[in-house]
Structure 1
Amino acid sequence: MTGLVLTIVGAVLIGVSLGLLGGGGSILAVPLLVYVADLPVREAIATSLLVVGVTSAVGVLPHARGGRIRWRTGLVFGAAGMAGAYAGGRLAALVPPGVLLTGFALMMLATATAMIRGRRDTGADAAPGPLPVPRVVLDGLVVGLVTGLVGAGGGFLVVPALALLGGLPMPVAVGTSLVVIAMKSFAGLAGYLSGVTVDWGLAAVVTVAAVAGSLAGGRLAGRIPADVLRRTFGWFVVAMGAFVLGGQLPAELRGDPVFWTALGGLAVVVAAGALLVAGCRRDGHRWVPSPVCRILRSAMAR
């Protein structure tokens, strides 16, 4: 019973992540279903694709009402992604589960780095023109292949592709990504169903909870500054990527308290450094003393 309650709570967070950030659903769903619901890796990935697909489709509604979706870009990207996702779902049967999860985590960390660094034109005033169709198709195929292969709905790849490469404003990239995620998730699920059985009862419970969360997250998305949204997304992905990678470590290392204490200390140092750097940014809202900022800038210049 405790496991079911935790799974439902986690599903609500999955929905909030999708509605608010345009991604992160599978980043939460796969670990949740593997480590809390105790599903086998491939069954967890297939279930996550179903949950994320339905939740993303429902989460599109508040973004559409708020005018935060580029339909042409989303539909072209999504159509290309569906082809890649179906192929990835079929290929996943040939890849060991541990390799799937490790590849999943490494992709999360690489993408998080890109999101945290950002680019200059991801703000609300970015150019409104659509992406060139060939580029959209190529990005969609690549992201779709990863989606189907590792069970990621693709938000952690789609949002950077739309915001960092395509120049869409972050709130619009978030809304548009939900269209793409829904299309690719269903295609990836179709690929998995050829060799995996889904617990439809559990999937229905998790989906209902995630949909409720996505509606709440969608209402909040338009009220949060784009830069804050992008950086929050990036650090969230870093944390989840580290968690998934930790789960793939040898059993004797996972049970060593010294290792986890050292890892926790490193995480605290990195987080503190990130907060200091953020506090020194030149936006008129600095809360870190100027001498500390000068020292940080000097250290980074070296």
Structure 2
Amino acid sequence: MKVAFLGLGVMGYPMAGHLHKGGHDVCVYNRTTAKAQKWVAEYGGSYAETPAKAAEGAQIVFACVGNDDDLRSVCTGKNGAFDAMDKGTVFVDHTTTSAEVAREMALEAEKRGLSFMDAPVSGGQAGAENGTLTIMVGGSSESFEHTKPVQECYAQAVTLMGDVGAGQLTKMVNQITFVGAVQSISEGLAFAEKAGLAPKKVIDVISKGAAGSWQLSNRGYTMVEDKFDFGFAVDWVRKDLGFALDEARKNGSALPVTGLIDQYYKEVQRMGGGRWDTSALIKLLRD
């Protein structure tokens, strides 16, 4: 297919690359044009200097940008993609945003005869680079079936969760769950260190039992080594937790542990760790 991809950050850059490797005709857009030029030099395809130019003639338009306002900008802002997309075209948003802005963009798309899907991803930079992301989708079943085979260029699982907004709500569940795991691992490993145990040996043992998890196996060892200059940044997870906490206030959910961990991440930011990996929570228990 002829597709457009808007946003070439640490996730979007390799995701767009997988689309090209999958045989699709890809036109990319990035706010910093030099990044788009670099992508074309590496993969081929083409680039455009505005979202609208990238979206012209595209059968599917993908986006992976920073936040709610960034999404509004590439969709309906000056030279936004919606104004250039052909009627019936699907816009697939991989940004982690609020469910509210997903519904807002879906209504704007409908006015123009377009279809909008919220499709946040999980798996981090490594998942994007390896093409093994998990995608949780909100939208119509027709749009889902049309876009699923293309999304599978960079995903191991693509699942329709419900109407527009359901993808973002599911991503909130993902974030709520994984930060709880990171905090518990931090406490366990800090305890192991103070108890005089060999922390890496502890990870080797407990990862094979009921305490095993992706976070323990993939972040436990680097936590012990005090390495955090990689991965999913603290600044980003606080953005995501903000969406979850706001939504919880609206639907009456109780998120006492999540709210507490959000404040712990705020302390990490005060330490200068806004760009550290989320596993940096353990530093609060050491320092």
Q: Same fold (TM over 0.5)?
A: no
Bigger fraction of residues in helix: 1
Q: Calculate the TM-score normalised by the size of structure 2.
A: 0.25
Q: Which has the higher contact order (CA 8 A, sep 6+)?
A: 1
Task: Provide TM-score, normalisation by structure 1.
Answer: 0.24
